[in-house]
Amino acid sequence: MLQQVLVRRIIATVLLAGAIGQNTYAEENTVLKSRLQAQAEAQRLEKEKKSLLSSVLDSTNIYEYLLGNPDFAKIQDMTIRLWDKHTNIRKYRTHMKDDFIQTD
């Protein structure tokens, strides 16, 4: 009788310790997974930032692309004309034609 009670308590203790160990393992596993996921997310964002920055810096023909846009060329032409009118510097630009930006 005493042996049965002792065996039952030992079994209950082992089962309880196993459940606690599993719970601890699951929590630790969750924490490790979240850390790995956070690091992977940070690395992905860093790579994305670098690729965006490099794509902006690598495109050296942005100004040429903008000049190909007729609206941009018209705005630039108007801006230069207004600046010339404001500063009265056009008289010193003898080498420039009146329509120096072509907007075809």
**What confidence tens digit (pLDDT) does each residue in 55-65 have?**
666 555 676 67
- The span from the CA of 37 to the CA of 76, in Å, is 48
The pLDDT value recorded for residue 46 is 83
The pLDDT value recorded for residue 75 is 82
pTM: 0.32
Sequence-distant (6+) residues with CB within 8 A of 3 are none
CA trace torsion 66, 69, 71, 77 (10° rounding): 60
The domain ranges of the chain are: 1-58, 61-104
The pLDDT value recorded for residue 32 is 80
> Which stretches in the chain have pLDDT values below 50?
104
- The span from the CA of 44 to the CA of 58, in Å, is 20
